[in-house]
Amino acid sequence: MKSKEFTNGLVVKHRRSAIILEHKDGKAETESRFFFLFTHKELDEFIEHLHAAASESWSAIAPKEANSMGSDYDEYYDRRYDNNGYLSLTNTGITIIAPYLSKDTLYQFNKAKIQSFLYDLVKMRNTIT
């Protein structure tokens, strides 16, 4: 599994068919809400890295607007913890609520969710630059 750590403490790991967001200190066990802020440069780097990771994980990745519950990244179900995780965009970053009792994973993307997340990230970047 490949990984990249950002200066704000967010770790992006990816493998075939999954992109996983974690905290560098593994705090998901004791906390459930995480805020990751980005400068403009860091946001560009984050978007580029996510797109590259998605392209390695799946074929034909194209950012697109969410058009169903399956492609809406706001919520995902984590089978291992039998609970939901949540992700939302803020003005200059992201907020994640990890699945209850998660010891590592804050959020996990499938192909449809990463495509809509990339779409919204680029849209957010274009409004703040």
Amino acid type, 104: D
Could you tell me the CA-to-CA distances from 8 to 4, 47, 95 in Å, in that order? 12, 14, 12
pLDDT at 67: 85
Residue spans of the domains in the chain: they are: 2-128
**Angstrom distance (rounded) from CA 127 to CA 122:** 9
Residues (pLDDT < 50) of the chain are none
For 71-98, the pLDDT digits (tens) are: 889 999 999 889 999 999 998 899 999 9
The model's pTM: 0.90
Residue 23 Cα to chain centre, angstroms: 11
pLDDT at 129: 58
pLDDT at 31: 67
